[in-house]
Amino acid sequence: MIVAPDTTALRNHIPRLKEGSRCVAFVPTMGNLHAGHLALVRQARGCADAVVVSIFVNPMQFSAHEDLNTYPRTLDADIAALESAGVDVVFTPTVKDVYPEGIEAHTAIHVPVLGDALCGKGRPSHFDGVCTVVYKLFDMVKPDVAVFGEKDLQQLLIIKRMVKDLNLAIDIQSGPTQRAADGLALSSRNQYLMQAERAVAPRLWETLKACAAELKTMAGQMDLSILDAAKATLEQEGFAVDYLELRTLSTLTVSSCLSEDCALFVAARLGNTRLIDNIQITAT
């Protein structure tokens, strides 16, 4: 496995990976890898001849009050895990390498509608930062396939729209959400949870499943008051709920029926930790 610490080193290796029209798959990460990331790597390994993984904590997607400085960084352990997973190249650029003139005046990519809802409403510059760095990484790595997890479903939908709108010849594949035995979606930020909070955290997934099951039993116009009741229950259990909403997958507009594919999206805080999750519901 090759570790490319900057774009110059990466450019030296990408043509070799692509020799003979070999297919290159890409998995972008912010490091602190867990089983969810490694599942995406396995998926990439299964659909391509070579796999590139990036490790870059992207400052452009963090607001001033967020956890950029304390975001867990475990580069040595990450590299060891990726080598065991059969990755061909690990790209570990610095902020200076990705944003040589800083991020303040850097061109940003904005995906309207999809990027303005849900997490985009409460974190208005977040998805601009995600799209910008992903586009730059795509340009550096030049993959044929890129794999993103469904745990960040809004992000996945936004990346797919960006690729479509900008005519990028990249196949965006989605990887199923990986969960702990008690149902909590795997996330690097889960380690921020205190012991008591970690015991409560699985209620987020349990609530989504229960709400989805109830919505599926309703014909025609649905009674979305069950979502208000679910939010109230979560708040009684210690969550500060940012949103719990049923949205269409095509536009992320609020839905009141299952005439097209939808998902229940939730974001909530336990203590200082912000958790997100979702469950998709097929149209009936």
Helix (H, G, I), strand (E, B) or coil at 183: coil
Is the alpha carbon torsion for 249, 250, 252, 256 positive or negative? negative
User: Which H or E element spans position 174?
Assistant: strand 171-175
Token pair of 133, please? 């760095």
Is the alpha carbon torsion for 231, 233, 234, 236 positive or negative? positive
- Say how far apart CA 243 and CA 268 lie, in whole Å: 7
Cβ-contact 233, 204 below 8 angstroms:
no
- Alpha-helical (H) ranges within 18-124 are 35-47, 75-84, 95-98, 119-122
Place of tokens 């985009």: 120
Q: Which residues pair with 4 in a beta bridge?
A: 91
- Expressed in angstroms, the distance from the first to the final Cα of the chain is 47
Token pair of 53, please? 């993984």
Q: Which residues pair with 21 in a beta bridge?
A: none
Cβ-contact 88, 54 below 8 angstroms:
no
Q: Which residues are catalytic?
A: 37
